[in-house]
Chain A
Amino acid sequence: MKQLNNIKAVTDALDVAMEKWNEVVVYGEDVGFEGGVFRATEGLQKKYGEERCFDAPISEAIYIGAALGMALNGLKPVVELQFQGLGWASLQNILGHMGRMRNRTRGKYPAPIVIRTPMGGGIRALELHSEAMEVIYAHTPGIKVVCPSTPYDTKGLILAAIESPDPVIVLEPTKLYRAFKQEVPDGFYTVPIGEGFKIFEGNDITVVTYGAQTVDCQKAIEQFEEKHPDLSVELIDLRTIKPWDRQMVFESVKKTGRLLVVHEAVRSFSVAAEIMASVTEECFEYLKAPLARVTGYDIVIPFDSGEGYHQVNPTKIFAKLEEIINFKF
C-alpha cells in the first residue's frame, strides 16, 4: 500500500500494466520524455524505453486511427489526449472507427484501445482546456466511458480498461489530479467497469454524480445533514458513465423516492438527462418529488473570470437539495 494522489495513481496503473503486458504501448503529446503536461506518464519512458512510451507529433486525427491498427494487430495502445477540447480531431476515428470495428468485422477485429484524457474545469486554464464532453463519447455505440474520482478507482479502472476487450475512454477529472491522497494497493487489481460506488448510505434523497463533483456533493450533503439531522442522503459515485450502474441507481431511488443528478457538463442532452429519463421509466411510482439536476449551463465554458458562474459547487447542490426536500405536491 502507498499513499497516492490521482495523478500518481494513473502512473502506477500504467506502470503495472506495462509490466504485466508487453503489448501495452503508451503515447500522446509530450507523454514520453517529459511524462505529459500533468506528469501522468512520468518515468515510464525511462523504465520501458522509447518504443513503448513515446512523444507523438501533434496529430490527434491519427492517434486513434493508429491505435486502432495497433489494437487489431495485437497491441494494447493507451493513448493520452492532452485535453478534450484540443483533441476534437481525434473524434473522426473515435466516432467513425473505434467503436465500430468489432461490429463491422463481426468480431474478427476487436479494438481494445484505451484513451485517457483530462476532463472538466476549475483549474483556471485557457479556453478549450476545461471541457467535460463525456456525452459525445457515451453517445457513441461500441465505446465504454469511465470517470474515476479517487486514486483507488483511478488505478483500478485504468487497469480494467486496459484489460477490457473493448475500447474504453478514461476521463480523468483535472481538478482532482492532486486534490487528495488515498491508500492504493500495490500491483495489479481492477475496479469493474459498470459498477457504481456508494459513498454515503441514506434514506431520503439519492444523489448521483461522478468525477470532480463527488467532492462537491460530499461537502453539500454534510452541510445539508447538519441542518437536517433527521434526514440522510445517499450518494452514488457512478465511476462508469457508460454502461452506468442502473441497478444501483434504481434501487436507491426506489428507497428514497427522490433523485438529484450532479455533473459539470452542460445540461441539455446530458448524462443527467439520460439518468432522469431512465429513472422515470423504471421508478415512476416511487417518486416523491420531481427529478432534479445540478449541471453546467448550456454555454461556452467561460474564461477564468466567469468560470465560477458555470462551475458546479457545494452551494448550488445544497440549494437544490433544499428545493427537493421542500417540494410539496
Chain B
Amino acid sequence: MKYINKFDPQKDQVVRILDVDGKVIDEKLLPKISDKQLIEAYKLMNLSRRQDDFQNKAQRQGRLLSFLSSTGQEACEVAYALAMVKGQDWLAPGYRNNAAWLTAGMPMHNIMMYWMGNEFGGQSPQGVNLLPPNIIIGSQYSQAVGIAFAEKYKKTNGVALTSTGDGGMSEGEVYESMNFAKLHELPVVFICENNKWAISTPYAKSTKSLNVAVKGIAVGIPGIKVDGNDFLASYAVASEAIEFARQGNGPVLIEFDTYRLGAHSSSDNPDIYRPKPEYEEALTKDPLIRMKKYLIDKKLWTEKKQTALDEEQDLFIRQEFDYAEAHKDYPLEDVFNYLYETKTPELEAQYQEAAAFFAANPNAKGGHH
C-alpha cells in the first residue's frame, strides 16, 4: 500500500501529486498509468466540462428539465471511474456524477435523455454495471453494499463503488452502510466528493468533523483524504482502494477534496450564498487546468490539439443531444410496462382506461416541452 493507511486522516493529511501549476510534487507517489490513459482521462474531463456547459445553455432554452453539473469535480470522477474494471466493477452514483457516469460507460445521449425526463436514459448498456443517478442522497451507499455483498457471495470478484457529496455524509444511512460493509468485509469503495456545499449549506454547517475521511474510523474502515482536483492523486488512490477491496480487505472510504464550481442544479443561483473570494480561489485550482499544464509539460498536449479536441467534442455533444431530443418521448404503454414483470390486473385495466382516454383526447397529455 502506497497511500491507504499511510496518509493519516486524523492529522488531516492529503494525498497530492500535482500542485496547482501541474508540477509533480513527489515522484514517488506517481501511479502506474500510461500516457495514452492520461490523454484519455483528460479528454473525458474536457468532454464532461463541455457537456455541462452545453447542457446549461440547453436548460436555459427549456430543452432540459434540470441537471446537476460535475464542473470542478471532473478529475476525481474520471479517475475513480477509469480505475474500475469495466463489466466487472459496479458504480452506484449520486446525482452529481456526470463525469463518472460518462467514464463508466453511460452513453452521453442516455444522460441527456435522463435529464430530459425520459427513464430510458437511466438504463445502462448491457455489460456496464451502472445504476441511475440517486436523487435521495445517501441510499446509494446501501445499494452498493448489497451489490458488494452479492459479489462476495458469488465470488465474482467485482468491486462496488458509490459516491455522494459532503451533504450526503450527514445521512444516517451512510454510516449504517459503512458499518454493515465492514462487518461483512465487503468489496466496496465509499466515495465522498467533498465539494464544500450541500445546495446552500456550507461544509462547516454540515459537520464539525475534522474531515470526511475520519468518519471511517468509527466503523473500522480506513479513510483517506485526497486532493480531488488532482487527477493523478485521485487515480492513484482510487486504483489502490479498488484493488484493496478486491483482495478481500474490506471497504475503504475516500474523501476527494474538491469544489463545486457550478450551481447545485440548473435551477440554483450560488451567487446568493457563496462568498465570491472563496469561489475565485477555487477557480485557481481548476482540475482541468492543472491536468492540461501537466500534459503540456510532458509534451503530451498542445494548444493546437486542444482547439481540435474542443471542436470535435462540441460536435459530438451536439449530435448526442440531437439524438436524445429526437428520442425523448415514448408511448403511453411504457409508463405502465416496467413497474412489474407483467402488469397486474388493475394496472392492465388502468392502462386500457388511459389508452382509451388518450385515443379520444390526443392533445390531453400536455407537458413542458
To the question of whether A and B form a pair in one complex, the answer is yes
Q: Which of A51, A56, A69, A103 contacts B160 (CB 8 A)?
A: A69
CA distance A65 to B173 in the complex (A): 9
- Among A25, A73, A108, A166, point to the contact of B151 (Cβ < 8 A): A73
- Categorize the interface residue count of chain A: 35 or more
* Contacting pair A105 B131 (CB below 8 A): yes
Please give me the residue from chain B that is nearest to A99 by CB atom.
B339
Q: Mark A226-258, 1 if CB is under 8 A from B, else 0.
A: 000000000000000011001100000000000
Taking a contact as CB atoms closer than 8 A, the residue among B139, B150, B183, B345 that contacts A75 in the complex is B150
Judge whether A194 and B172 touch: CB under 8 Å: no
Cβ-closest chain A residue relative to B136: A96
A92 touches B173 (CB 8 A): yes
For B145, list chain A residues within 8 Å (CB).
62, 65-66, 69
A-contacting residues, B86-118, CB 8 Å: 90, 92
- Is A72 part of the binding interface, using a Cβ–Cβ cutoff of 8 Å? yes
Size bracket, chain B contacts: 35 or more
Q: Is the Cβ of A73 less than 8 Å from the Cβ of B123?
A: no
A109 within 8 A of B: yes
Q: Which residues of B contact A93 (CB under 8 A)?
A: 139, 142
Cross-chain contact A92 with B143 (CB below 8 angstroms): no
**Contact in complex: A69, B132 (CB < 8 Å):** no
For B348, give the chain A residue with the smallest CB separation: A243
Closest Cβ of chain A to B121, distance in Å, is: 9
A65 touches B147 (CB 8 A): no
The reply to whether the CB of A211 lies closer than 8 angstroms to some CB of chain B is no
The residues of A that contact B341 with a CB separation of less than 8 Å are: 102, 110, 165-166
Q: Which residue of B lies closest to A95 (CB)?
A: B136
Docked-complex contact B344 and A59, CB < 8 angstroms:
no
A166 to B340, CA, bound (A): 6
Q: Report the stretch among B15-23, B44-52, B174-182, B281-289 that lies at the interface.
A: B174-182
State whether B119 touches A69 (Cβ < 8 A).
no
CA distance A110 to B120 in the complex (A): 14
Contact of A67 among B119, B124, B146, B151 (CB under 8 A): B146
Q: Are A107 and B338 interface neighbours, CB within 8 A? A: yes
Within the assembled complex, what's the spacing in Å between the Cα atoms of A69 and B144?
A: 6
Partner among A73, A104, A243 whose Cβ is within 8 Å of the Cβ of B346: A243
Interchain CB contact (< 8 A) of A62 among B122, B160, B176, B344: B176
A224 to chain B, nearest CB (A): 31
For A70, what are the chain B residues with a Cβ–Cβ distance below 8 Å?
146-147, 149-150, 153
Q: Give min CB distance, B132 to chain A, whole Å.
A: 5
* A2 touches B (CB below 8 Å): no
Given contacts A25-B153, A65-B139, contact A106 B338 (CB under 8 A): yes
Mark out the residues of chain A between 13 and 57 whose CB falls within 8 Å of any chain B CB in the assembled complex.
25, 51, 56-57
Which one, A59, A73, A104, contacts B176 given CB within 8 A? A59
Q: 13 A-B residue contacts at CB 8 Å?
A: A57-B180, A57-B183, A65-B141, A72-B131, A97-B139, A99-B339, A102-B339, A102-B340, A110-B341, A141-B339, A142-B339, A194-B344, A243-B346
A interface residues, Cβ below 8 angstroms from B: 25, 51, 56-57, 59, 61-62, 64-75, 77, 89, 92-93, 96-97, 99, 102-110, 141-142, 144, 165-166, 194, 242-243, 246-247
Q: Which 3 A-B pairs have the closest CB atoms?
A: A69-B146, A65-B142, A73-B150
